[in-house]
Amino acid sequence: MRSPQLWAAAVLLGLLGLVPVYAAVFEQPFYITLFARILIFAIAALGLNLILGYGAMVSFGHALYIGIGAYAVGILSFHGVTSGWAHLGAGLAVGAVAATVVGWVCLRTSGIAFIMITLAFAQMFYFLSVSLKQYGGDDGLTIAARSDFGWVNLANNTVFYYAIFAVLVALLLLFRRIVDSRFGMVLRGCKSNERRMAALGFPTMRYKLAAYVISAQVCVVAGMMLANLTKFASPSFMQWQASGDLIVMIVLGGMGTLIGPVAGATGLLLLEEVLAGWTQHWMVILGPLIVVIVIVSNRGIFGVLAALGRTGGAGRARPGGTSGEAR
């Protein structure tokens, strides 16, 4: 572990893993709820980062999948189905269908058009959930109890926290493999120069769609956790601001770095919490602060660390500029 990036990642995860301990020591059970929320958004941001950071697909509608996950738990619980496996199965099934259809349409476009059309789909689902009067409509749906996963008793806050933490760590390890796998190389190649990828013989659309669906499914899982944490499923989970927050977390933490979204989610949600404690006008402070952080650090918190780790290798300047035909 020579790179500063890896060290920082280990320290960050170590600190997050110890949260239930501080909560117990300082008798502040509220910490667990706060940080469980942070972990959940870290997971969602991690999922989005697969396509945004590694595939240059800027989805401005990933809150849609958080919503699908939350409503899978909410609606099934409403009908008396408490099994976590049923929640998971339903969420992933609906998520897969929705992501395949939405992705198939959206990936026909790129750039600004892609951003707008992903946003449009998320808004569509938002209004759909508002119109679900039998499931609370605008007010959302309260959930009686957490998903039932048998011997893993999620009703216990500490168990719940570590379950989320375990999923986060597992996803980090999985994504670490993906990024350097064949699939990851194709994704990164498409980000770098998609035209060349096609000319080499890659059916790029197929791979991008697969990445989109995987990324969406991670957000579905995050949505299920969020519903379990808040015991609530609401259209507000799907608001465009939520999609925007995910992007901010990624940009803040460092695009195209694996742990960046985790750092970004932690940073953003903690800042929000602290500033909200000081003043009700916290948004006025937070907005410019984010802009400053991103401008100063350029590639986000972990981008800086990654750059530090690379300053051994000489002659690495001249980014971009050589790809694509002029027209």
Partner 1 sequence: MSLLRVSGLYKRFGGLTATDGVELDIEPGELHAVIGPNGAGKTTLINQLSGELAPDAGTIAFEGRDITALTVHQRALAGFSRSYQITSVFPEFTALQNVMLAAQAHAGHSFRFWRPVAGEAALIETARAALEQVGLSHRTDVEVAALAHGEHRQLEIAMTLATAPKLLLLDEPMAGMGQHESEAMIALLAGLKGRYGIILVEHDMDAVFALADRISVLVYGRVIACDVPAAIRGNAEVREAYLGDEAVAA
For binding to partner 1 (CB under 8 A), which residues are involved? 174, 177-178, 180-186, 188-189, 192-193, 195-204, 207, 210, 313, 315-326
**Closest to partner 1 by CB, 185 or 271:** 185
Nearer to partner 1, 30 or 104 (CB): 104
Min dist CB 254 to partner 1, Å, is 15
SS (H, E, C) 25-44: HCCCCHHHHHHHHHHHHHHH
Query: For the chain, first and last CA: distance in Å?
Result: 44
The least CB distance from residue 314 to partner 1, in Å, is: 9
Task: Name the burial class of residue 95, with classes exposed (0-12), middle (13-18) and buried (19+) by CB atoms within 10 angstroms of its CB.
Answer: buried
Q: Which is nearer to partner 1, 108 or 316 (CB)?
A: 316
- For the CB of residue 164, give the shortest distance to partner 1 in the complex, in Å: 23
Burial call 261-296: b when 16+ CB within 10 Å, e when fewer: bbbbbbbbbebeeebeeeeeebeeebeeebeebbee
Residue with tokens 């496996």: 85
131 vs 323, beta carbon nearer partner 1: 323
Smallest gap from Cβ 4 to partner 1, in A, equals 20
Beta bridge partners of 83: 148
What does the alpha-carbon distance between residue 215 and residue 61 come to, in Å, rounded to a whole number?
12
Provide the minimum distance between the beta carbon of 319 and partner 1 in the complex, in angstroms, as a whole number: 6
Residue 154 is classified by DSSP as T
CB atoms within 10 A of CB 106: 25
What CA–CA distances, in Å, run from 223 to 116, 214, 247, 324?
22, 14, 16, 39
Q: Which is nearer to partner 1, 192 or 279 (CB)?
A: 192
Nearer to partner 1, 14 or 315 (CB): 315
Q: Least CB distance from residue 173 to partner 1, whole Å?
A: 11
Q: Is 146 in a helix, a strand, or coil?
A: coil
Query: Which residue number, 89 or 203, has a Cβ lying nearer to partner 1?
Result: 203
Query: Cβ of 138: how many Cβ atoms within 10 Å?
Result: 12
CB of 68 to partner 1, least distance (A): 23
